[in-house]
Amino acid sequence: MSAFAAVDVIRAKRDGGRLSDEQIDWTIDAYTRGDIAEEQMAALAMAIFLRGMDSGEIARWTGAMISSGERLDLKVSRPTIDKHSTGGVGDKITLPLAPLVAACGAAVPQLSGRGLGHTGGTLDKLESIPGWRASLSTSEIIRQLDEVGAVVCAATEGLAPADKKLYALRDVTSTVESIPLIASSIMSKKIAEGSAGLVLDVKTGSGAFMKTVPQARELARTLVEIGTAHGVATTALITDMNVPLGHAVGNAIEVAESVEVLRGGGPSDVVELTVALAREMLALAGLSDVDPAEVLASGRAYETWCRMIAAQGGDPEAALPRPRYVHVVPAPADGVLTSLDAYAVGVAAWRLGAGRARKEDPVQAAAGVLCLAKPGDKVAAGQPLLELHTDTPEAVPSALAALEDAYAVSSEAPASAPLVLETVRP
């Protein structure tokens, strides 16, 4: 006979009660095994959405989801450190960051995901490289960490299976926007990866999931508390996502821009955030005496990138896919570009084929938006402002509709805003 009944657990949270450790452990285990029906878990997710959880409940819920599957045992010669972003537009930072931190002496096991909606997916970007493969076995991950220092790949099937089920359920029951459920979903996967340390990039603004700084701060604090409770050294940066990162938003064009950064060039905001996150990661890994800006400028990070791509079957020197069709959006007037809305640009790239509405949808490697000017840049009427890249020209009108109010030109330059807004530590 079961120790608990699902309806009692639902009622306890519905009425604002605190779930005990035993109730949480039983619930996650029973749901993973199929003993709790989908409609019952949907009701509990809504109760959590409305009533919330305290820090102890969230930590236990996360631990139960970790325990639903395997936990990687990363026995490698270097200190292990991971990074996670809550998602943004043009957020290609993992691509230059993983090889940079590896070139500084750490091991970076970056288990990543695919894009959904207006936010891009790291695996989709890397799959635009001919031959590159996302799926690796645990032994392949560990060997690559030892030999190269960095791996970016898909999560193995055995990691946090409870989260996979619950994630899909939240998506169709309007319970996604719950900080306890968001935080436990992120951290159950990240802690199960086995790294000793974790740096989080919690984005805020129009192109982010958390639209305001207070929301981002609450999520960042919750994530750091969970990591600390589970013995993982954790830090979070709250970063601005009102404007796309860099110039490229898509798949292959983001890879190309990342390579520019690794070769010592690239957009200043991408370089700034890459180095800022690298410094936090190296500090947690005990390597704070290494200057990531110097390593990036030296070319050593690019060498590590080439080895990392080749180790997963990719050709780092191969030409990247190019779009069949390019549509240019001109500047409407002379002046200074004062705004470029990240969300609108992300939606446009998605509609052009760079993203997907459902997990099973394909993406176009060459699709995306190239931002030829950023806020603060002077523009002339008729000057190319955006390039829309796609293999399906019939998608351009819907992308243009998304961009209708996405940018503005004025006679006065906008006030500059910092990229890194806050740092949250235990």
What Rg do the C-alpha atoms of the chain give, in angstroms?
22
Amino acid occupying residue 16 = G
Say if CB 387 and CB 349 are below 8 A apart.
no
Q: If you classify domain 6-52 with CATH, what class do you get?
A: mainly alpha
Of 111, 105, 110, 109, nearest to 77 by C-alpha is 105
With cut-offs at 50, 70 and 90, classify the pLDDT of residue 388: very high
d(CA 407, CA 404): 8
Whether 84 is a known active-site residue: answer yes
Query: Which is catalytic among the residues 13, 118, 164, 189?
Result: 189
Chain mean position to CA 327 = 28
The three-state secondary structure class of 388 is: strand
* CATH 3.90.1170.30 residue window(s) in the chain: 325-410
Q: What is the DSSP string of 244-301?
A: -SSSEEESHHHHHHHHHHHTT-S-HHHHHHHHHHHHHHHHHTT-TTS-HHHHHHHTHH
Query: Which is catalytic among the residues 84, 114, 203, 351?
Result: 84
> Mean of the pLDDT values across residues 310-336?
97
d(CA 88, CA 200): 13
Amino acid occupying residue 26 = W
Query: Could you say which of 2.40.30.110, 3.40.50.300, 3.40.50.2300, 3.90.1170.30 is the CATH number of the domain covering 325-410?
Result: 3.90.1170.30
Query: Which is catalytic among the residues 91, 124, 163, 341?
Result: 163
Calculate the average pLDDT of the chain: 94
Whether 185 is a known active-site residue: answer yes
Query: Which is catalytic among the residues 13, 83, 170, 190?
Result: 170
Residue with tokens 């790239």: 349
Question: How confident is the model at residue 206, as a pLDDT?
Answer: 95
CATH tag, 81-311: 3.40.1030.10
pTM: 0.94
Question: How confident is the model at residue 209, as a pLDDT?
Answer: 87
* CATH 3.40.1030.10 residue window(s) in the chain: 81-311
* CATH 1.20.970.10 residue window(s) in the chain: 6-52
The model's pLDDT over 117-174, given as tens digits with 9 standing for 90+, comes to 677 789 999 999 999 999 999 999 999 999 999 999 988 878 889 988 888 888 788 8
Query: Which is catalytic among the residues 68, 184, 185, 195?
Result: 185
